Amino acid sequence: MVSSRRTAAPAQAASALRRRGPVLERAILEAALDQLSTVGWNGLTMEGVAAGAQTGKAAVYRRWPSKEDLVVDALQSGLPVLDSAPECGNVREDLLELCRRMRAAMYSRPGFALRSVLHECDTVTAERFHGLITEGVIEPTVELIKEVLHRGIERGEVRPDIDEGLVGDVIPALMMYRSKVCGSEWEDGDLVEMIDHVMVPLLRHHTH
């Protein structure tokens, strides 16, 4: 009896790993995100992803013919969604909370994966990810900032003649610059300083 149970266990384990369709694809995409967030873009290999997903390399190549194709889908499937603007009662607190959510997204596993792509890819390869970054990260964030600004205008906290497009770019530009160019992290105090010393003065009514 003991012998038969020992024989059955490996067979059951092997059966559990015979995943197909969406289940297998999800495992491969998760393994790709793991690779990106640990060994980075340069260290990621299709073989490593296959091993992480506990499948064969052929199963990966059958779905994604190149490393770039795989990474695009992995990032699209895993990027956090910022789909609502905070409502804390005033524009300063709204922007600060939105920045905290952006920071959480940047330092999530998919966020680390995305930053590894941004930091390590050459210019030609990075072009493959431009649309993903713009449509999946930058544009939704700017729209939420604009929503916060609109509410601030309605409450009389924000001057109505601000250039929404320009002001909406300030926070993402600063956060991306510090992260990509300077390689520094955003502590909570840094976010407070950005809002209090940059954003709030930009939004105030001019005094004569």
Split at pLDDT 50, 70, 90, the class of 77 is: confident
Residue 185, both tokens: 């992290």
109 is written with which tokens? 């596993």
Worst-scoring range by mean pLDDT, 15-19, 112-116, 155-159? 15-19
Categorize the per-residue pLDDT at 37 as very low, low, confident or very high, splitting at 50, 70 and 90.
confident
Highest mean pLDDT among 73-87, 121-135, 138-152: 138-152
- Can you say whether residue 21 is alpha, beta or left, with left for phi > 0 and alpha for psi between -120 and 50 degrees? left
Please give the span between the terminal C-alpha atoms of the chain, in angstroms, as a whole number: 92
> Which of 66-75, 129-138, 190-199 is predicted with the least confidence, judged by mean pLDDT?
129-138
- Average pLDDT rounded to a whole number, residues 50-76: 93
Please, which residues have CB within 8 angstroms of residue 107's CB and are 6 or more apart in sequence?
185
Own/partner contacts of 104-112, CB < 8 Å, gap of 24 or more, are 104/80, 105/79, 105/80, 105/137, 106/175, 106/179, 106/186, 107/185, 108/80, 109/33, 109/34, 109/37, 109/78, 110/33, 110/37, 110/75, 110/78, 110/79, 110/80, 111/79, 111/80, 112/36, 112/37
pLDDT band for 3, please (50, 70, 90 cuts): very low
Q: How confident is the model at residue 132 (pLDDT cuts 50, 70, 90)?
A: confident
Per-residue pLDDT, 17? 53
Packed helices 164-180 and 109-120: angle between N→C axes, nearest 10 degrees? 80
Please say if the pLDDT value at position 4 is more than 80: no
Measured CA to CA, the distance from residue 30 to residue 63 in angstroms comes to: 14
Position 8 confidence tier, pLDDT thresholds 50, 70, 90: very low
Q: Regarding predicted confidence, which is higher, 8 or 53?
A: 53
Q: pLDDT grade, residue 23 (50/70/90)?
A: very high
Residue % of the chain over a pLDDT of 90: 50
